[in-house]
Amino acid sequence: MRIARRALVLLLGRIVESADSAVLAAGARHPYSRALIAAAGLARPALHGDPPSPLRPPTGCALRLRCPLAHDGCAQVPPTLDPVAPGHRVACHVAQDEAQDGTQAGGKAP
């Protein structure tokens, strides 16, 4: 039996986070990844509202209407999947800013 070591998190058909599965479980950086991990542990959902329609996704980031970390820039520019650490890529403006600053204000769960 083989088990994948790399995990991909998709939102509306786009990869929003890619990392080693152990790294993702211990330190997910995208708010959607964090919400999925929290939901798997039956914690209180970390997102608000309903999922967006894939036929009419919001402008900018697809998660921005549900994301507790969203800011004005999230509505203007769709985030691209960029490295935040070796082998770890995230499509989130806040996670990328935190990676550059060396902070992680959102913590393990928003």
- Backbone Cα Rg of the chain: 13
What track of x and - describes contact with ligand SF4 for positions 79 through 108 (by CB under 6 A)?
Answer: x------------xxx--------------
Do the Cβ atoms of 94 and 78 come closer than 8 Å? no
Task: Please report the sign of the dihedral spanned by the C-alpha atoms of residue 88, residue 72, residue 110, residue 52.
Answer: negative
Which stretch, 1-9, 20-28, 44-52, 58-66, contacts ligand SF4 (CB under 6 A)?
58-66
Binding footprint of ligand SF4, residue count (CB under 6 A): 13
57 sits near ligand SF4 (criterion: CB under 6 A) = no
Q: Does 69 bind ligand SF4 (CB under 6 A)?
A: yes
DSSP 9: E
Strand partners, 19: 7
Task: Choose between 5 and 45: whose C-beta lies nearer to ligand SF4.
Answer: 45
